[in-house]
Structure 1
Amino acid sequence: MLRSFVDRRLTGLLAAAILLAVAGLSEPAAAASQSFEQWLAGVRTEARARGVSDRIFDAAFDGVQPIPRVIELDRNQPEFRLKFDEYLGKVVTAGRIATARRLMAEHAALLDEVSAKYKVQKRFIVALWGIESDFGRITGGFPVVAALATLAFDGRRGAFFRKELLLALDILQQGHIAPADMKGSWAGAMGQNQFMPSSFHAFAVDHNGDGHKDIWGSLPDVFASIARYLARSGWNDDITWGREVELPKGFDGKLVGLETKKPLSAWQSLGVRKAGGGDLPGRDLRAAVVEVTQRNAGPRHFVAYENFEVILKWNRSTYFAIAVGTLADALDAR
């Protein structure tokens, strides 16, 4: 899959930055060649062709103009990158762990049901929910259609955001949410699991059977949509995500990275050990060794299993994937 703005939406901003970086090459700004009203007329024509009614279109764009704050956030993302220790300290806090434990117990029956259906451990569902939106508390206050229209009209990544805008209009046409209630991040990520419209169409679920895929207000739909995303992305509920390890002195740095995968027994023979010095697990899972840098200490290393790479499909950030795993580990009852 929004304190100060950075603190409240740290993860969402990092996710948006990564998403924007892979969205496509820059395009000439649309504003240089046409007015917003002219541009919007073209969007209306395209929306009509895919079945979006004028009634829905007019409701979605009622009073909409480009939002300067969205452009500011897009243009002025922080130039520095947080180091891993700083990031983890903000994202996986003692308070968030305590809340996650309480909510996992409170919603145990529903989570058990979703977990069994999609074969995804419930602790990972809760971890993603917690990190993406602080368990639904912070989902973003921007009108999604206006934010996406702003970014599409701006043109730097116009084709990508125009596609997401049209997909958002499809969601409205299908009646999953009212136009006034479609709120999200400045980059268009929506709901308690922060799906872009394209992810909504691919993975959102009407788990409670009320006819709406409501990732904004329905926990059954939120949990099932998270689980379906992971399941369809290759999740294996028979394993975890990875674990922290220590590397021996003189370890070949060329072996660090997702490109090199070996059975745990092979890493063991190369001197890799659990954090604290114990032997690696006896189960011979294939894994890569990944590294993260810290501002206040040396690098940390982790063996990453196949589920780690599934989390990366959600958000292409090693920090994010390790944070999700770390929070999920804190919820492991074993």
Structure 2
Amino acid sequence: MQKCVGGVMTVALWASMVQADTTDTGKWSGSDALGETIQLASADLAVSLRPVPRPSIEALQVSAAAAARFQVWLSAFQDRARQQGISQRTLSQVFSDITFDEDIIARDRNQAEFSKPIWTYLDSAVSDTRLSNGRAAMQRHRQVLKQIEAEYGVEKEVVTAIWGLETSFGSYRGSSRTLRSLATLAFDARRAQFFETQLIAALQIVQAGDVSAANMLGSWAGAMGHTQFMPTSYLDHAVDFDGDGRRDIWSDDPTDALASAASYLAQHGWTKGQPWGVEVRLPAGFDYASARRDFTRMPSEWAAQGVVGTDGNAVPDHGRAAILLPAGGQGVALMIFDNFSVIEAYNGADAYVIGIGHLSDRLAGGVSFQSNWPRADRVLSFSEKKELQTRLTEAGFDTKGIDGRTGPNTINAVRAYQLAQGLRPDGYPTVKLLDRLR
């Protein structure tokens, strides 16, 4: 199950994409996927007097050809949509003026090249501004959040944290036409089946009357509303919490969207009262090979091995937990519980999960992480990650694919290589490690 795409699925996708819109106020207003808004007065911008170059003949020909192919694809898609119960009336309403958006394809192609180290991500995710805005949002909606927590058993701080990271508490919900975005991405070959499924779901939402096609707005990649649901997640998990007969995650009133996020977490197994994770201290001589997601112990068992909270005491036995080292042996160490995996179902990037968890802890009155991040380190670029995977696989440490993403298979391969080389097996890919492989 995937909740969101593009901004939603990995740090490289959501945390680094910048989305902007031009307003009639004479200012440029932009927001990264973490929702930190900046504004620049137009007078502050250096304006070039150089004429804007015209598109080349070749570029215009490519665009025209793509637009023509899109219309052919759209006709065939409508046949498939009718077979899945979408009425001709709905199709005519939605697709009467739908056109191909090549800018979306450009964004989709470029997003993998962006990467932020987790500490930079968290600087924005849990900034003083976001904390201040989050506390204010919780105060404004305290009664609704209290009712949602009582209904779904998901703490109000967690729901608010999701709202804060997804759309900066509703201030940037996206202005792209969802149906146009999804149609463009479904036409594209890279993830055609996934986005066609999302497009069918979006049509079902419109046909059911939950929202009009014109008001179905969101991110360029099809995530919608205050809490950025993909259409299939909306169908499966959205709720009408205010009782007005519609599951409205798009309006200025965030009630249904916040309740839908709680519903999503509850249906994925959220345990109220259990931490998502706790910062811990590792003892001298810690076995770094045991810091992996599939190796769990009760916190009291970890304490017997010297793994304790930052206060020096054993972490309470909230359930079985694993040790996660998001920046390797040089940064923050976390003891993570089942609720970590529940947030992960909402968005699979570790940094996103840590961002949600840490923001929710801070909103509840918790403190910042106590350990230092290795801020002097440079994270590997997308192309360097692919090179690392290639070299590891060629050296006999199979990463199960060359995709430029540091997932469990790559971490396991890195750890196996580190063990073979007598290095600290923290599974963390670094520039120094890549240089060694070279």
Q: Would you call these one fold, judging by a TM-score over 0.5?
A: yes
Distance 1:4 1:160 in 2: 23
> Given the alignment of the two structures, is residue 9 of structure 1 paired with residue 41 of structure 2, yes or no?
no
> Given the alignment of the two structures, is residue 298 of structure 1 paired with residue 330 of structure 2, yes or no?
yes
> Given the alignment of the two structures, is residue 173 of structure 1 paired with residue 207 of structure 2, yes or no?
yes
1:32-51 alignment runs, 5 A limit: 35-51=69-85
Contact 1:152 1:162 (C-alpha < 8 Å) held by counterparts = yes
Distance 2:18 2:185 in 1: 23
1:196-235 alignment runs, 5 A limit: 196-217=230-251, 218-235=253-270
Relative to structure 1, is the Cα distance of residues 330 and 271 closer, same or farther in structure 2, using a 3 angstrom cutoff? same
Shift of 1:90: 1.5
**1:326 maps to which of 358, 373, 381:** 358
Amino acid aligned to 2:211: I
Shift of 1:63: 2.0
Single out whichever of 131-140 and 76-85 deviates more from structure 2: 76-85
Identity between Structure 1 and Structure 2 (%): 37
1:117-266 alignment runs, 5 A limit: 117-217=151-251, 218-266=253-301
Shift of 1:138: 1.0
Amino acid aligned to 1:9: D
Contact 2:210 2:247 (C-alpha < 8 Å) held by counterparts = yes
Listed one character per residue, the Cα deviations across residues 38-60 of structure 1 (whole Å, up to 9, x for unaligned) are 21112212222333222322222
Between the two proteins, the alignment pairs up a number of residues equal to 312
Contact 2:33 2:167 (C-alpha < 8 Å) held by counterparts = no
Rg larger in structure: 2
Distance 2:332 2:197 in 1: 39
Listed one character per residue, the Cα deviations across residues 118-152 of structure 1 (whole Å, up to 9, x for unaligned) are 11111111011111110111111211111111111
Listed one character per residue, the Cα deviations across residues 271-311 of structure 1 (whole Å, up to 9, x for unaligned) are 11223x511223352111111128xx932111111111100
Listed one character per residue, the Cα deviations across residues 170-229 of structure 1 (whole Å, up to 9, x for unaligned) are 000001111111111111111111011110011001111222111111322111101100
Local SS of the residue matching 1:258: coil
Shift of 1:255: 1.0
Distance 1:284 1:151 in 2: 42
CA RMSD of aligned residues (A): 2.2
Contact 1:11 1:320 (C-alpha < 8 Å) held by counterparts = no
Unpaired runs of 5+ residues, structure 2, are 8-16, 21-29, 36-64, 367-438
Distance 2:177 2:321 in 1: 41
Listed one character per residue, the Cα deviations across residues 218-271 of structure 1 (whole Å, up to 9, x for unaligned) are 322111101100000000013121111121222111111211110001111111
Equivalent residue number for residue 56 of structure 2? none
Distance 2:151 2:326 in 1: 34
**2:137 maps to which of 103, 112, 121:** 103
Distance 1:245 1:333 in 2: 18
Relative to structure 1, is the Cα distance of residues 256 and 99 closer, same or farther in structure 2, using a 3 angstrom cutoff? same
Distance 1:176 1:219 in 2: 15
Contact 1:265 1:284 (C-alpha < 8 Å) held by counterparts = no
Distance 1:4 1:234 in 2: 32
**1:269 maps to which of 304, 309, 319:** 304
Contact 2:275 2:318 (C-alpha < 8 Å) held by counterparts = no
